[in-house]
Amino acid sequence: MSGGVQRDQEFSEFVRARRSRLVGAAYLLCGDRHAAEDLVQTALAKLYAAWPSLHTRGAEDAYVRKILVRTNIDAGRRRWRRELSSDQLPELSMPGPDLDGRDELVRALATLGPGQRRIVVLRYWLDLSIEEVAADLKVSTGTVKSQSSRALELLRTRLTASRIEELTEERA
Amino acid sequence: MNEQDLREQMEISVGTDLGQPVVDPAADIARGRRRLRRRRVASGFAAATSVAAVAALGLQFLPAFSGDRTAPPAAGQPMSARDAATAAVVQEVQTQKLSTVVRRHVDPTGAYTVGKREEAFTTKDASKPLGIGALTFTHEWKQDGGVGLLWVSVAYPDHAPARTKWCGPRFTKDLMAVRCFDTKDANGRPVVGGSAGSVANSKGVFYVKSGGQFARYERPDGQVVIIAVLRMKSLKRVADDLPEGVTAPRVTREQLYAAATDPAMTLAEK
C-alpha cells in the first residue's frame, strides 16, 4: 500500500470516529454552528497535513484538540480581521448572532470566560482527565479543578435564572 | 447541576442544535490535500521568492546577508588588518554620505528612517578609486507599526546588476511580480522604476501591496544607483504573515527618482 493511500485510509477512520464529537466540541466552544464547522475543517486539514508524524506517535487526538482550542482563541482575537472597511453605511442593520435559536445551555456557556469554557468542553464533552486538560491548556491541575467547579456553579446559576425567566414569561 | 447533568445536557444541546452530523472523510481529505499542497508550494515559493528577490534587487553581495560586512579578498590576496581597517572606514564614510542623500529625498521629515541603519557591505575592486566596486546598505523603514526596508546600492558598471536582471524575469502572480517603468532624467538618461515585488504568506495568500518601489539609474559616469523601499524588512519574512496595518511604503516614484539621480549618489573621493 502506498504512503498516500495508507494516510487517507487512516485519516478517514479517524474522521469517521471523531468528527461529530469534534464538531460538538467546537460548537460548545464558539456557540455558532457555522463557525464550529469551519473550526473543525481547519483543524482536520491541518491534521491531515501533519498526519504521518502524528500518527506514528499516536498524537492525533491531542494535536487536533490543540488546534481546535487555539484556532478558536485566534478566531476570537482576530474577529476584526474579517471586517471590511467601507465608506458607506449599510442600509439595513446587520443581523447579530442568532442567540435565541440556540439551546439555553449553549447560551449559558457563552457567558463563561474563554478559559472556563475550554475547560468545561475538554472535561465534560471530550471526557479528558484533569491532568489531560491541564496538559492541553498548559495550566496547573489546581486551576482546572477550581475553574471547573466555578464554571459549574455559574452554569447552575444561569440556567436556573433562565428557567425562572422562561416560567415568568409563560405566566405573563 | 452536577457533572453528570452537565454531560447529559451537553449531549442534548449539541444534538438539538446541530442535528444529525454529516461525516464525509473524502471532503476532509480533499481539504487536507489542498492545505498540504499550499504548504509545499509556500515553502518552495519562499525559497524561490528569496532567490527571485535577491536577483531582482541586485543583491549580488550575498556575503553581507550571512553576516560578513565586507566581501572576502580574492584568493591569493590576503587583506592585512590595516587594510581591513582602512576599508571599513572608507565604507562607513561612503555609506553615511549616501545615506544622508537618499534619506533627504525619500524621507525628508525623517519620519520613517528612525530605526537603525542595518547592513552595509562592499565589493572590493582595487582598480576603482576607493578600492570599492560596489556599496550596498540597508536601513529600517518604520511605518504604521511595521518595519520595512530602505535598500540602496551604488555600483560601477562591471559590478552592477544589468537592467534585464533587475526587471526580469517576470513571474506569475503566484510568485513575484517585478514591473518596470522606463523614463528619463532631465538630461535624457534612462531611469527605471517600478514595483519591487509582491509576496505571499505561508498560506499562499497574495498580497498586492506587500512589495514596494524601486528606482534604477545609470549615472553619466557609468555608476548604477538602485534605491528601493520595501514593505518587508527581511527576506525571511516572505513566508510569514505580514503585519496588519502595514501599508505600502509612503514613498513616491518621483522621490526615488530624485534620490537616484542626485549628483551626490556616487562612489567618489569627495
Task: Confirm whether B15 is domain-assigned.
Answer: no
Cβ(B253)–Cβ(B191) below 8 Å: no
Other Cβ atoms closer than 10 A to A36:
24
Task: Confirm whether B10 is domain-assigned.
Answer: no
Question: Could you tell me what percentage of chain B is helix, strand and coil, using 3-state DSSP and rounding each to the nearest 5?
Answer: 35, 20, 40
Residue B164 pLDDT exceeds 70 = no
DSSP helix/strand/coil, A124: helix
Q: Tens of pLDDT along B31-45?
A: 888 888 877 776 654
Domains of chain A: 1-79 (1.10.1740), 103-172 (1.10.10.10)
The grid coordinates listed for B132 are: 570599492
Least confident window among A88-97, B10-19, B39-48, B92-101: A88-97
Q: Is B213 exposed, middle or buried (0-12, 13-18, 19+ CB in 10 A)?
A: buried
For residue B252, give every residue at least 6 positions away whose Cβ sits within 8 Å of its Cβ, in sequence order, or none.
none
Task: Confirm whether B267 is domain-assigned.
Answer: no
pLDDT of residue A172: 54
Q: Tens of pLDDT along B63-119?
A: 333 333 344 444 444 455 556 667 777 888 888 889 999 999 999 988 888 766 666
Rounded to a whole number of angstroms, the CA Rg of chain A reads 19
Residue B25's pLDDT band (boundaries 50, 70, 90)? confident
Chain B residue closest in CA terms to A20: B21
**Between chains, do B28 and A46 touch, taking CB under 8 Å as contact?**
no
198-257 in chain B: CB under 8 A from chain A:
244
Q: Tens of pLDDT along A55-74?
A: 888 888 999 888 888 776 55
Task: Give B14's contacts in chain A (Cβ within 8 Å).
Answer: 24, 27-28, 125
> Cα B137–B268–B234 angle (5° rounding)?
5
Higher-confidence residue of B183 and B78: namely B183
Residue A30's pLDDT band (boundaries 50, 70, 90)? confident
Task: Give A48's contacts in chain B (Cβ within 8 Å).
Answer: 28-29, 31-33, 35-36
DSSP helix/strand/coil, A27: helix
Task: Confirm whether B248 is domain-assigned.
Answer: yes
Residue B178 pLDDT exceeds 60 = no
Task: Confirm whether B58 is domain-assigned.
Answer: yes
Cβ(B113)–Cβ(B107) below 8 Å: yes
Domain count, chain B: 1
Task: Confirm whether B116 is domain-assigned.
Answer: yes
Q: What is the pTM of this model?
A: 0.46
pLDDT of residue B211: 66
Task: Confirm whether B122 is domain-assigned.
Answer: yes
Domain span holding position B250:
23-260
Task: Confirm whether B266 is domain-assigned.
Answer: no
**Between chains, do B32 and A47 touch, taking CB under 8 Å as contact?**
yes
Task: Give whole-number Cα distances, B158 to A98, B32, B154, B227, B267, in Å.
Answer: 68, 50, 12, 18, 14
